[in-house]
Structure 1
Amino acid sequence: MSVPALDASTVIEPIRQLSDAGGAGVLCVITHVDGPSYRPLGAMMAVLEDGRRIGTLSSGCVEADIALHAAKALDLSTPYTVRYGKGSPFADIVLPCGGGLEIMLLPRPDVAVLNTLLSHHVARQACVLEVDQRSGTLCAVAQGATGWTGDVFSIAIDPEIRFLIFGKGPETATFAGLVQAAGYPNLVLSPDAETLDAVAAAGCTTRHLTHAHCPAGLGIDGRSAVVLFFHD
């Protein structure tokens, strides 16, 4: 089974937090979806050794129980899989969507591999995380699709969608505010100081346009959305 690549926003924060913690925690990955699911195949959550949870794999139904299993995985120092919903032995934990999830728990993931994934993220490069189900060994490779190949589960990770917003006036500021609130990386380019001040107050990154040409060095790629709000 293979599915489209995940947007990096789905997985990058759990990876970053585990890297910052020196790998002291558990990487939790959805490896099988049966029926409807709140999160897609390959989505990740981290549970740190101190109990902190980063990310979510459901609408809040299973995260506390995952944390308990993560503590067990740390004690055993070995990966294992837990199932919720359809076919699960945990009759008291119900998924409202009616589906089933299998989640692989990977204790103390290799920080070098996590850092490689983070480097690809910063460079806006696609990458693939491969996980050996038996050993828990991680490997970062350049190509592949999300899904199983024998005992290896792969998670393809695309760069985040980002927005380059050109324009001035309230439409520009409103749209940029929505993009920022939704958590997408963005850059607002405008010749108008009032517009730049408004979007900067919303937390957006800004650049002053000084001529009617696309500035160099924007790094526009296939995961960049370019939006124009100039009336002329």
Structure 2
Amino acid sequence: MLSPPDAAPDNPLLAGADWPTFGWSDDIRPALAKAVADGQAAALATLYKVEGSAPRGPGAQMLFVGNVATGYFSGDCIEGDVAGHARQVLADGVPQRLHYGMGSPWIDIRLRCGGALHVLVERLLPDSPAVHALLNEGAGRRPCIWRTDGVRQELGDGDLPLLSLQEEPFALARRYDPARRLVVTGGDPGALALARLAMDARFETVLIRPHGPHTPPPFPVSRYMREPIEQALDVTGLDRWTAYVGATHEDEHDLAGCLSALRGDTAYVAMIGAKSRAPARLAALQAAGASEAELARLHLSPGVSGLGKAPWEVATGILAEVMQALNPARERA
């Protein structure tokens, strides 16, 4: 029997359903990589069509490995029921197309938003060539297209919207971009607050502190580097899914880092500092060869105004700008 939405938080198929922090993760690839490394099959659920109002749009995904979930669709309305179907798909390998909300045959599962959600659930095996290709492209920070009819999956390239749907015969194509990445330089409270917030927001976060302490920061980051900034950026690599914030407050480091980031096709480049320092910094960048187009992309004194000047307030404003800058690369039509 299908579970009503009020029962979903107690669903034993969803570990942690009482406090569904699994919904914080928007990228299923890290969980899929772990499943592959452990030799486990996974059930991939893709929201492929939305009618009316809904918390998530087409392309949102969940991954189920055993009773562990990643991602969310509705904020507890249907996740428990999708988990039940995912278990069946894992058992028999037969894909399922689920319809919730308006027009659904399952009248006991209601959507509080009043819309309709259509979800494909398919099984992914740990030895699938398409799965390995997807993970390899992600590790290499290359965009790719996942094509599936629920049974046959393949990976390709192309420049498509986040999700493209073919109704008959049923097939969908879902674009995967490289993970959002934020490079922060410096070690003062503001820089550390920004790196910590970025990690909590599921950014791949690189903290660079030239000649900094040998001990790592007191919170997790994706990578901590002590090399000179230009060298560290060369090792890290820069692309249009990366944002860079210079916060050492030392022009020796911040100007060189910003110039590299501006020339590296990064989606967002900023340098923290007092507004009074801006003219001299712009002049120094011009003297170093920065073009007018490059300088127009530079954010000086970045962040959302009016939030305050405490480290967490400044970091929150900057991260909001970073999210806005990176979003078109993820959601372009």
Q: Which structure is higher in strand share?
A: 1
Distance between the aligned counterparts of 2:241 and 2:46, measured in 1? 24
Is residue 196 of structure 2 the alignment partner of residue 177 of structure 1?
yes
The Cα of 1:93 is off from its aligned counterpart by: 1.4
Distance between the aligned counterparts of 2:96 and 2:109, measured in 1? 19
Deviations 1:83-118 (A, max 9, x none): 111211222212222221101121345722111100
Deviations 1:180-218 (A, max 9, x none): 221211111123636x85x721112211144x7454322
Q: Give the equivalent residue in structure 2 for 1:5.
A: none
Is residue 220 of structure 2 the alignment partner of residue 203 of structure 1?
yes
Q: Higher mean Cα deviation, 29-38 or 107-116?
A: 107-116
Q: Give the equivalent residue in structure 2 for 1:193.
A: 212
Runs of 5+ unmatched residues, structure 2: 1-24, 252-333
Distance between the aligned counterparts of 1:107 and 1:213, measured in 2? 43
Distance between the aligned counterparts of 1:100 and 1:38, measured in 2? 11
SS for the counterpart of 2:236 is coil
Q: Is the 8 A contact 2:61 2:72 kept in 1?
A: yes
Q: Is the 8 A contact 1:160 1:185 kept in 2?
A: yes
The Cα of 1:140 is off from its aligned counterpart by: 0.4
The Cα of 1:137 is off from its aligned counterpart by: 0.7
Distance between the aligned counterparts of 1:39 and 1:18, measured in 2? 25
Runs of 5+ unmatched residues, structure 1: 1-7
Matches within 5 A, 1:1-232: 9-20=26-37, 22=39, 24-48=41-65, 50-74=66-90, 76-109=92-125, 111-133=128-150, 136-143=151-158, 144-145=160-161, 146-149=163-166, 150=168, 151-191=170-210, 193=212, 200-204=217-221, 205-210=223-228, 213=230, 215=232, 216-231=234-249, 232=251
SS for the counterpart of 1:160 is coil
Distance between the aligned counterparts of 2:140 and 2:207, measured in 1? 20
Distance between the aligned counterparts of 1:170 and 1:178, measured in 2? 12
Deviations 1:1-54 (A, max 9, x none): xxxxxxx94331453355346463422111111123222312222233x44333
Distance between the aligned counterparts of 2:140 and 2:112, measured in 1? 38
Q: Give the equivalent residue in structure 1 for 2:7.
A: none
Instruction: Please give the TM-score of this superposition, normalised by the length of structure 1.
Output: 0.82
The Cα of 1:131 is off from its aligned counterpart by: 0.8
Distance between the aligned counterparts of 1:17 and 1:119, measured in 2? 13
Q: Give the equivalent residue in structure 1 for 2:11.
A: none
Distance between the aligned counterparts of 1:64 and 1:82, measured in 2? 13
Aligned partner letter, 2:244: V
Q: Is the 8 A contact 1:162 1:185 kept in 2?
A: yes
Identity %: 24
Q: Is the 8 A contact 1:39 1:57 kept in 2?
A: yes
Shift in CA distance, 58/13, structure 1 to aligned 2, threshold 3 Å: farther
Shift in CA distance, 121/22, structure 1 to aligned 2, threshold 3 Å: same
Deviations 1:45-96 (A, max 9, x none): 2233x44333322211111111222233345532221111121122221222
Aligned partner letter, 1:125: R
Shift in CA distance, 225/87, structure 1 to aligned 2, threshold 3 Å: same
Distance between the aligned counterparts of 1:174 and 1:51, measured in 2? 33
SS for the counterpart of 1:200 is coil
Shift in CA distance, 189/74, structure 1 to aligned 2, threshold 3 Å: closer
SS for the counterpart of 2:113 is coil
Q: Is the 8 A contact 1:13 1:54 kept in 2?
A: no
Q: Is the 8 A contact 2:48 2:118 kept in 1?
A: yes
More contact order relative to length (CA 8 Å, sep ≥ 6)? 1
Distance between the aligned counterparts of 2:171 and 2:83, measured in 1? 24
Instruction: Please give the TM-score of this superposition, normalised by the length of structure 2.
Output: 0.59
SS for the counterpart of 2:217 is helix
Distance between the aligned counterparts of 1:187 and 1:47, measured in 2? 29
Shift in CA distance, 13/168, structure 1 to aligned 2, threshold 3 Å: closer
